[in-house]
Structure formats: C-alpha cells, structure tokens
C-alpha cells in the first residue's frame, strides 16, 4: 500500500460472516475506513453488475467467497472480481483461503493472475465453526456434535487471529504482497477433544458422534442443503479430514509476533457469551 492506512478504505466482503465481521472490527480499530460488501449493501458475488459500486474509490479489499473458496464457481468469480478491482484502481487484495484444500488452489491462482497486489491467507478450521454456523445447533439443542472428523487432529484457529493477520498484512505496506500465509491455532485437537473443551467451558455434558462423510452428507440433505452442495462437501470432507492437516502452521507468529489464541480461551469466551445456551 502506498497510501497511509488512515486514508484507506477497505472493502470487506462477507462482512456479516465469521471472519469478515472480525476483519471489519479490527480494521476500524486500526483506523481504516470499512466499507462492508454483502447482499444487504447490494453486493452479490453472483451478479457482476453489483461489483463496481462496491469497489470504486477503495484502496483494498478482503475477499471471502461463500460458501467455500474451493467451490467450482469460486475461481472464476474471484478472478473476474480481481480484474474489475484492478480496473478501478483497487490493487490491494487479500483472499481468505483454506489450508490443505487442493480445490482452493485455482481460486488463489486466479487472484495471482489478475496482476493485483495479492496476499492469500490460508486458514485452518475455524474454532468459531463450533459456535457460529451449522455445527452450533446440535451442540446447543442436544449437546451433541455429529461430524465426519473421526479421530483426526486439527489446529483450530480463532477467527479473531485471522482478522488480526489480515489487518496487519494490509498495514505492512508491501511486505506480504505476493505471499500465501498459513495460519492455525497453537494446539492440535481431535473434534472429540474440542467438544470436551466446550463441555468444560459450559459445564454441560456434550458428546461427539463421528460419522462417515457420506452419512454426514445425508444428514445435511435432510436439512435441505442442495444436492450439488452436499456432493461438494462430502468430497471436501473426505480429503480435508484424512489427517493431512494434522500439523501446526506459524502464520500468526510470523505476522503478529505473538502466539495464536488457544481453543480453551475461545471456548470460555464463547460460553460466556451464551453461544451454547438453550
């Protein structure tokens, strides 16, 4: 960034979501002007005619592709949006991507090919998946997590650390341009251990019931998730949850010079905020 971070308008896509809401908060705290871009503001990833108004006059954008950065439409949409942003002088683009997800690489490549001043932040599984989004209901209503995570270990990352990394990267002039950073939490936990930490934090018994990706797909279909999305998620979980991601990454330490937040701290705070209260 050649501009002072004080003069900088940051477009935040996904601003009502798990990471975007924290990116918006951290960016405002750092003195940036935040322009949220979700469907409520008229920005729709599925409608190119809505993109220019969201981008015009901004210096940078945080890109979150719903529902998954590795979905079949993501690479095309991110590439087209990055070109449009460049045409409007919005050169600095930070994409949220996924650690260990091969399907996300074409989306990252489309960003790179746009010629933008890009940074990719590849994140581990979010800790907040347990308290915001589809997993929360079972834990809250029945004290049970049904999920195809087997006994695999994952270093769940707190989305506030992702947000802090994104904002620090934007504030760091050109230091992280052209880099893919990989962020995780500080500790490997199985899904069962994560649920046990939530049980401790809430004082409620909670259980984890591992199922196969296919069984989980049937479960999602029962909740009305469209068949093509179910198939995509079944394939994704079969690969992402096969043990390939059972290692720590040091992007948080590298960018922020501190340890990532621990899962126990997340669980305590989310429990205190009533995330799993019936």
* Interface contacts to ligand NAP, rule CB under 6 A: 14-20, 38-40, 43-46, 64-66, 68-69, 96, 98, 123, 125-126, 129
DSSP bridge pairs for 121: 96, 181
Rank residues 18 and 91 by Cβ distance to ligand NAP and give the closer one.
18
Gyration radius of the chain's alpha carbons: 19
* CB 88, min distance to ligand NAP, A: 18
Rank residues 185 and 217 by Cβ distance to ligand NAP and give the closer one.
185
- Per the CB < 8 A criterion, the answer to whether 206 and 144 are in contact is yes
Rank residues 140 and 160 by Cβ distance to ligand NAP and give the closer one.
160
As a 3-state breakdown, the chain gives helix, strand, coil percent values, each rounded to 5, of 45, 15, 35
How far apart (Å, rounded) are the C-alpha atoms in residues 78 and 63? Answer: 8
* CB 207, min distance to ligand NAP, A: 21
Rank residues 42 and 57 by Cβ distance to ligand NAP and give the closer one.
42
* CB 47, min distance to ligand NAP, A: 8
How far apart (Å, rounded) are the C-alpha atoms in residues 23 and 205? Answer: 33
Residue 106: which H helix or E strand, with range?
Answer: helix 105-113
* CB 131, min distance to ligand NAP, A: 11
* CB 66, min distance to ligand NAP, A: 4
CA 104 to chain centre: 12
CA distances from 65 to 46, 69, 75, 123, 185 (A): 10, 5, 9, 13, 22
**Residue number with the smallest Cβ distance to ligand NAP:** 17
How far apart (Å, rounded) are the C-alpha atoms in residues 132 and 17? Answer: 9
The Cα angle at residue 32 between residues 119 and 57, in degrees rounded to 5: 75
Rank residues 75 and 96 by Cβ distance to ligand NAP and give the closer one.
96
* CB 14, min distance to ligand NAP, A: 4
Rank residues 20 and 213 by Cβ distance to ligand NAP and give the closer one.
20
């Amino acid at each position: 960034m050649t501009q002072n971070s004080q003069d900088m308008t940051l477009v935040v896509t996904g601003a009502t979501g798990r990471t975007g809401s924290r990116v918006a908060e951290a960016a405002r705290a750092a003195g940036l002007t935040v322009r949220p871009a979700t469907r409520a503001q008229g920005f729709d990833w599925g409608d190119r005619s809505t993109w220019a108004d969201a981008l015009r006059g901004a210096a940078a954008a945080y890109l979150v592709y719903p529902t998954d950065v590795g979905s079949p439409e993501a690479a095309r949409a991110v590439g087209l949006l990055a070109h449009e942003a460049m045409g409007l002088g919005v050169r600095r683009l930070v994409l949220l991507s996924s650690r260990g997800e091969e399907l996300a690489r074409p989306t990252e490549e489309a960003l790179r090919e746009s010629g933008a001043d890009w940074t990719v932040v590849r994140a581990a599984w979010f800790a907040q998946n347990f308290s915001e989004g589809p997993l929360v209901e079972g834990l809250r209503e029945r004290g049970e997590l049904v999920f195809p995570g087997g006994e695999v270990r994952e270093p769940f990352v707190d989305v506030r650390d992702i947000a802090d990394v994104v904002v620090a990267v934007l504030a760091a002039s050109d230091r992280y341009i052209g880099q893919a950073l990989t962020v995780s939490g500080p500790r490997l936990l199985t899904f069962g251990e994560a649920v046990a930490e939530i049980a401790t934090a809430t004082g409620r018994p909670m259980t984890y019931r591992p199922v196969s990706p296919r069984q989980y797909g049937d479960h999602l279909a029962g909740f009305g998730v469209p068949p093509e999305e179910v198939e995509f998620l079944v394939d994704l979980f079969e690969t992402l949850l096969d043990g390939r991601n059972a290692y720590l990454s040091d992007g948080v330490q590298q960018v922020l010079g501190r340890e990532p937040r621990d899962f126990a701290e997340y669980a305590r705070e989310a429990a205190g905020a009533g995330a799993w209260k019936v």
